[in-house]
Amino acid sequence: MTAHHPDATEAPAEIRSNVPGSFARGVLTRRHPALIRQVRDAIPLGPRQHRALDRLEADVARDEITPLDDAADDHSIWNDWAQGYYGQSWLDAPFLWAESYFYRKLLAATGYFESGPWRGVDIFAPSKQAELHSKDVDAELRALDELPRQAERERERGEVLLQSSLWGNQADLGFAASSNAPAEQRRDERLVVDDRTRLWDLLAAGTPGTIAVLADNVGRELIPDLVLIDHLLRHHAERVVLYVKPYPYYVSDATAPDTFEHLRRLAAAPGEAGAVGQRLWSALATGPLEIRAHSFFCAPLEFNRMPADLHDELAECALTILKGDLNYRRLVGDRAWDPVTPFERTTAYFPSPVAALRTLKSDVIVGMAPERLDELEASGSDWRTSGTHALVQLHGVTERQLLG
Ligand SMILES: O=P(O)(O)OC[C@@]1(O)O[C@H](CO)[C@@H](O)[C@@H]1O
């Protein structure tokens, strides 16, 4: 049995990529250079953009962080966030900061923020389009016709939709290459924390006001997320606010244009998928559904640093449903927590009750039962980072809060 220290007073240090053989190191030294090659192959860039990508590749290879070199309005805020990191090693900077900055440098290289033909061009669009129009998404849409529709089976329908939204997070384009989830093993056995029953019981206990959904990836994740949102609007929420990214991020993270395209795909589909899409389309037009894209969702910071305006928006919500691995890292803190550290300890700051739906694709984990942790550690599998395992974790949701 591992000695656990869940009540350590100080939060552990932020994860860095300077540990040889660590997951974080592999992301910065292997995944990021591969991503630059993928962008060059996917988009017909000009010589200026290729030269800028050459410089980014060289920065990574030389292990030196250099300032942003595009003409963009966010340099002052990035200079504040980069305090002390310019000229330093990527591997020695906090992993969360370094990864986020890498994606901002990638957009700088292709001219995303500058005037000219490349302004606002999503360099991840080819892979996002392929995902949205994939046979897997076709199958997802057809499967909706098999959903229970009888009112008395609403909870059963909700369970199916929650599972689809949760495991849809596995389909991360930046991740697909190394995902080795054993399809045959039952999904429930691969949950490391399972608060689903509490979530449904509490949602069923009353009709909460607004539910915030912090989106993650497009395609096989955003389609189920949208279908789940339709279910929440029909049975559990007066309003849903879907927060997407203000610009392209982490390859497959959803932006507003991506979301509109997914809604078009749903609404144009036959059967139940089309009905869901048309209800969501109407909900957007009349108000119960709103899409927002706060700049903080592309910031290199933990959520406990969120600005006051976003804090106040979320404080109005009866529940925040937070999707994916990166959002989880930002929620609990991208740190080497003792995995039995109570989830509530790391989320006490959050302005609303929060439910995390995440497949595990990085080392951070809290809120585990010691026996479950020891069982997984003894398995010898890479359960923390391979995307084979997942969690539904809930904090601060009480009947009083949901009932208002
Ligand atoms: O938030 P998502 O899409 O579920 O996962 C994103 C993510 O797993 O991809 C990176 C590795 O490429 C991780 O560092 C990061 O947490």
> Read out DSSP for 57-112?
HHHHHHT------S--TTHHHHHHHTTTTTTS-TTTSBHHHHHHHHHHHHHHHHTT
Going by pLDDT thresholds of 50, 70 and 90, the confidence category of residue 155 is confident
Single pTM value for the model: 0.93
pLDDT higher than threshold 50 for residue 179: no
Going by pLDDT thresholds of 50, 70 and 90, the confidence category of residue 150 is confident
Residue 205: the pLDDT is 76
Q: How far is the CA of 385 from the centre of ligand 1 (A)?
A: 9
How confident is the prediction for the chain on average, in pLDDT?
91
Mean pLDDT value across residues 79-104: 97
Q: How far is the CA of 180 from the centre of ligand 1 (A)?
A: 15
Q: Does ligand 1 come within 6 angstroms of the Cβ of 167?
A: no
Residue 208: the pLDDT is 67
Q: Does ligand 1 come within 6 angstroms of the Cβ of 31?
A: yes
Question: Which residue is listed with tokens 């016709």?
Answer: 145
Span of 169-173, 210-214, 217-221 with lowest mean pLDDT:
169-173
C-alpha 255/C-alpha 261 separation (Å) is 10
Q: How far is the CA of 326 from the centre of ligand 1 (A)?
A: 5
Q: Does ligand 1 come within 6 angstroms of the Cβ of 338?
A: no
Mean pLDDT value across residues 188-211: 87
For the chain, give the longest Cα–Cα distance: 61
User: Which residue has a Cα nearest atom 16 of ligand 1?
Assistant: 326
Amino acid identity, residue 221? E
Mean pLDDT value across residues 311-340: 97
Residue 43: the pLDDT is 96
Nearest atom (ligand 1) to Cα of 174: 12
User: Tokens for 202?
Assistant: 């509490």
pLDDT higher than threshold 70 for residue 383: yes
Nearest atom (ligand 1) to Cα of 252: 3
Going by pLDDT thresholds of 50, 70 and 90, the confidence category of residue 186 is confident
Mean pLDDT value across residues 120-130: 97
Amino acid identity, residue 283? A
Residue 170: the pLDDT is 85
What domains does the chain contain, in order, with CATH numbers?
Answer: 8-123 (1.20.930), 128-395 (3.40.50.10880)
Q: Which residues of 28-54 are buried (b: 16+ CB within 10 A; e: fewer)?
A: bbebbeebbebbbeebebeeebeebbe
Residue 360: the pLDDT is 97
Mean pLDDT value across residues 288-308: 98
Q: How far is the CA of 362 from the centre of ligand 1 (A)?
A: 7
Q: How far is the CA of 284 from the centre of ligand 1 (A)?
A: 29
User: Which residue has a Cα nearest atom 15 of ligand 1?
Assistant: 326
User: Which residue has a Cα nearest atom 8 of ligand 1?
Assistant: 361
Q: How far is the CA of 174 from the centre of ligand 1 (A)?
A: 7
Q: Which residues of 289-315 are buried (b: 16+ CB within 10 A; e: fewer)?
A: bebebbebbbbbbbbbebeeebbebbe
